[in-house]
Structure 1
Amino acid sequence: MCGRASVITPEALLEKRFNAAFAKGVHLEENVNISAGNKIPVITSAMPNHIQTFTLGYTPHWAHKQTYMINARAEGSYNPENDPAYTGPMGIFQKPMFRHAIKSQRCLVLVDAFIEGPKQEKLNKPYLVYPNRDRGPFALAGIYDTWQHPLTGELHHTVAIVTTGSNRLTQRIGHHRGPLVLSREQEEQWLDQDLSVKELSAIMKPFNSKGFNAYPISQKIKNPDANGLELLKPIGEKLFKDYDRCLYERLKYTSEDTLNIREERLVEGDQFVLF
């Protein structure tokens, strides 16, 4: 995953879809170009009935500085060939960076779409990946931790998105990895703190691309300061032919009100993409 996502669904509809209420004082900021350092809505295993907003870019609690690690490989150092059919152990359970969080600090990352690019061109040739047939927002599998700034004492709640090998859709884009998209049944399982390593490992497989599609968008999305609905406008054909409206058309024409997309600034710091 190239570390970009879109969240546009209003608060009330997100609450209805995920059967959870926004935590007190937490408000959704619409953003079609969420990148490292931006806030993204999550539901954690510790507070499964509330929606919170965490910083995209994981920092473990023991780190000396904020690191903004946006992805966490399910296989860890295993599966260097990124074989989609990999069936071996999941190295994320041994990685010092993630081994605590994957066992006890899992979360759902709520999005309307994510942006992916080919392995070589990356966001110079971006595609918007979204669920078709007006299915609405969905959940990516995430892990989280809270890091305290050593000088200011400020607490930073941070999140990384778990990635797996590619599937039919991301392969068509030309990318060797993909975020772990959870089915509705898996959403509840992912938040279950009693789930065993074996059960978790069974979930961490390339997601079923049925019901998803993608189309190319402008490389303007590469600029983390860029925002606005026009960034999601298709500049080419969908990867798979269907008769559904693309995500841009749904958002553009379902309401007469102009969507308020607030510009976001990339927070300074180191960004690492682990895929």
Structure 2
Amino acid sequence: MCGRYVQTLPAEAMRRLFKAGGALPNLSPNYNAAPTQRLPVCRFNPETGERSLDVLRWGLVPSWAKDLSIGARTINARAEGVAEKPSFRSAFKARRCLVPADYFYEWKKEGSAKQPFRIGRADGPPLVFAGLWEGWQDKQSQEWVRTFTIITTTPSAQMAALHDRMPVILEEEHWPAWLGEEKAEPASLLPLLAPWPGELELVAVSKDVGNVANNRPDLIDAV
């Protein structure tokens, strides 16, 4: 599971990273991004032919859902069933996105306790996760809510010592196909949903990160 992450990249820096157009969202650094929060993602708009930065709710809500509550259970989509599972298959075919992050958090069991770690690229660039997005309309208010999920896969050898899952990390060369800028059959994208082969940096951090109310720069400091 990828249930918390860090996103501090300013909107202008994300625009440059993704070469996005359109209006920029108003963002604040988030050192403890959590499910149901509104967070930035990169999408491709086939009508304008541009990438855009948009703020979506974390926890994918399928169009057929009765209410938003399912989103608490769909913050991640397992790569192994993403093309067939009813909650995700429609989005996988046509609504894929990129999710930027500085780090993600994971917890390692140490006896009866759990020690949180922040995990990032050892070479420094931001992480970019493979995501899916969906639109859901409230039948009473008619309001549209757009949500997203992060795809997870089996761990790399490095991550396996910490946890049995990890988010799918995509390199820039694969962004056009993933976003739908380049024509690609969904089945051809499945090989991208593999453990990232690069070197990660795993750093133990404060247990304060376990409380979603905590959102401070020192959460990512080594302990």
Would the TM-score normalized by the shorter structure come out above 0.5?
Answer: yes
CA distance in 2, matches of 1:114, 1:123: 20
The offset of 1:120, in angstroms, is 8.4
Cα separation, 1, equivalents of 2:172 and 2:113: 29
CA distance 1:9–1:106, shift in 2 (3 Å): same
User: Structure 1: which 5+ runs fail to align?
Assistant: 77-91, 236-275
**Aligned letter for 2:130?**
A
What is the SS of the residue equivalent to 2:53? strand
Per the TM alignment, residue 145 of structure 1 is displaced from its structure 2 partner at its CA by 0.3
Distance in 1 of aligned mates of 2:113 and 2:97 = 26
CA contact (8 A) 1:2 1:123 kept: no
Deviation at 1:101, TM superposition (A): 0.4
Identify if the C-alpha distance between structure 1 residues 204 and 225 changes in structure 2 by more than 3 Å, giving closer, same or farther.
same
Q: How many Å apart are 1:124 and its aligned residue?
A: 3.2
- Compute the displacement of 1:119 (Å): 6.7
Check whether the contact 1:168–1:209 (CA below 8 A) recurs between aligned residues.
Answer: no
2:134 corresponds in structure 1 to: 145
Aligned position for 2:31? 32
TM-score by length of 2: 0.89
Q: Distance in 2 between matches of 1:146 and 1:31?
A: 24
Letter in 2 for 1:217: V
Aligned-pair distance for 1:172? 2.2
Residue in 2 that maps onto 1:215: 203
Contact 1:116 1:122 in 2 (8 A): no
Q: Which residue of 1 aligns with 2:191?
A: 202
User: Which residue, 34, 45, 65 being the options, matches 2:67?
Assistant: 65
The more displaced of 224-233 and 195-204 is 195-204
User: Could you tell me which residue of structure 2 aligns to residue 43 of structure 1?
Assistant: 42
Matched with 1:157 is 146
Deviation, 1:138, is: 2.6
Deviation for aligned residue 1:147: 1.1
Cα distance in 2 for residues equivalent to 1:120 and 1:177: 17
Give the structure 1 partner of residue 8 of structure 2: 8
Distance of aligned partners of 1:25 and 1:198 in 2 relative to their CA distance in 1, 3 Å threshold: closer
Whether the 8 Å contact between 1:117 and 1:123 is mirrored in structure 2 is no
* Deviation for aligned residue 1:25: 6.2
**1:156–1:202 CA distance, 2 compared to 1 (3 A):** same
Q: Unaligned stretches of 5+ in structure 2? A: none
Question: Which residue of the other structure, out of 92, 95, 98, is the alignment partner of 2:85?
Answer: 95
Aligned residues: 216
Shift of residue 59, structure 1, vs aligned partner = 0.5
Cα 1:111–1:12 shift into 2, 3 Å:
same
- Cα pair 1:43 1:49 within 8 Å, conserved: yes
TM-score when normalising by structure 1: 0.73
Greater strand percent: which structure?
Answer: 2
Q: CA deviation at 1:162?
A: 0.5
Are residues 121 and 192 of structure 1, via their aligned partners in 2, closer, same or farther at CA, if it must alter by over 3 Å? farther
The residue that corresponds to 2:100 in the other structure is 110
Letter matched to residue 4 of structure 1? R
One-letter identity of the residue aligned with 1:165: T
Residue number in structure 2 paired with 1:254: none
